[in-house]
Amino acid sequence: MSAPQHSAPRSPGSGFGFSTADFYLLLTVFIWGNTFPVAKYILGFLPPMAYATTRYLLAALVLLGLMALRGGLQPPRRRDIPALALLGFIGVTMMQLLWTNALTFTAASKGAILVAVSPIFAMLMTTMRNLVKRESTPGALAWSGVLLSFAGVFLVINNSLTGITLDGGDLVGDLMFLGVAFCWATYSVMGPRYIASLGALRVTAWSMLFGSLLLIPLSILDIARADWGATTLTIWAGFLFTSVGAGALGYLWWYEGVAKLGVARAATYSYLIPVFAMISAALVLGESISLAQLIGAAVVLAGLMMTRLGTQRTPGNGG
C-alpha cells in the first residue's frame, strides 16, 4: 500500500520529533511491506479469492469490534451507504481481486514496487479535478517526478538494462499490480470527504465490510475447493498477520497517523514499503532481486519524492 495524496490536518506542535503517531506509521508500513511475501506464501496453499474474502471479512469484523469498544457500534446513515459501498468496492473488492491474483503471477518484491506508484495516480486524479475547478496544478518538478517514476516502473517490469523483454510471462501480474495502485489512489482521493464527517474508523470499518461482502459471490468456488483442514499453524499465523495486522490495524493506524501528522509527513513512511517487501521476500521466499529492479525501485522512489516536493510547493493544490 502507498500513501494517500490528499490534505490532512496536523496536530498542533507535532514538530519533527519522533512521536507515537510516527511509531504507528512506521509499524504500519513495516506490516504492509511484509504482507506481500507472507500473502504470496499463503497463496501457495489457499485459492486466491478464498483468501482475499475471508481475510477482509475478518479485518472488517475486527474494526467493527474496535468501533463498539470505542463508543458503540454506529451503523451508517442511509444516505452514506452508497458512498461507503463504492469506497469498499474500489478499495477492497476491486483492489483485492487484482492484488491477490497478481501475487500468483508476479514476485512479491516486484509487486510492492509497482503498487508504490499509487501517489502518482492520485496526483493525476487531483490535477484533473483542479483543472475542472480552475485551481492550481502541479509544476515542472512534480511532472518530472511523474515521468521519472514511470521510467522506474518500466525498468522494474522490463527487468533488463540492455534490452526490451516485455514478451508476456508475468506481465499480466505486473499490470494487475498497476491496477491495484490505481484503485488505492482512487480510494485515497475519494475517502477524505467522508472521513472528515464520519471519522476514519467508521469509514474504514463499514467500507471494508461492504467491500468484503461484495467479494463473496466471486469467491464461492474458491472457498468450496479450499482444503481448510490441511491448513497449518504457520499458514493461520500468516492469515492473522495479513488480516488483523495489515487489513484492520494497518488501515486504522495509517489514517490516524495521517490525521495527527499530516499526509506530507506520513507519505515519507510509505516509501519504505517496497524496501521492507524486497528484504522480506528475499529472506522468506528466497526471491532474487535483479540489478534492473533495484535501479528501477530507486528511480520510482526518487520520482515519488520529487512529485511530493512539487505538489507541496504548488499553492492551493489539493495534493
Residue 243 has what pLDDT?
95
| Domain boundaries defined on the chain | 20-113+167-288
Residue 317 has what pLDDT?
31
Residue 65 has what pLDDT?
94
Q: Which residue has the higher pLDDT, 179 or 289?
A: 179
Within 10 A of 234 (CB to CB), how many other CB atoms are there?
A: 11
CA distance 184 to 3: 9
Residue found under cell 475542472:
132
Burial category of 101 from C-beta neighbours within 10 Å (exposed 0-12, middle 13-18, buried 19 and up)? middle
Residue 3 has what pLDDT?
45
Residues in the chain: 319
pLDDT band for 8, please (50, 70, 90 cuts).
Answer: very low
Q: Which residues contact 16 (CB under 8 A, 6 or more apart)?
A: none
Q: Which residue has the higher pLDDT, 146 or 27?
A: 27
Computed over every residue of the chain, the mean pLDDT equals 83
Contact between 194 and 233 (Cβ < 8 Å): no
Tell me what the mean pLDDT of segment 259-287 comes to: 79
CA distance 215 to 50: 9
- Nearest-CA neighbor of 30 among 276, 221, 289, 211? 276
pLDDT digits (tens, 9 = 90+) for 95-128: 999 999 999 988 888 888 888 888 788 888 888 8
Percent of the chain at pLDDT exceeding 90: 34
Contact between 125 and 133 (Cβ < 8 Å): no
Q: Which residue has the higher pLDDT, 309 or 249?
A: 249
> What nine digits make up the cell of 212?
468484503
- Type of residue found at 316: G
Using DSSP's 3-state secondary structure scheme, residue 251 falls into helix
Contact between 184 and 250 (Cβ < 8 Å): no
Tell me what the mean pLDDT of segment 136-151 comes to: 83
**C-alpha distance from residue 57 to each of 14, 30, 143, 193, 195 (Å):** 35, 22, 39, 24, 21
CA distance 117 to 185: 9
Residue 11 has what pLDDT?
42
**Lowest pLDDT segment from 23-37, 167-181, 196-210, 236-250:** 167-181
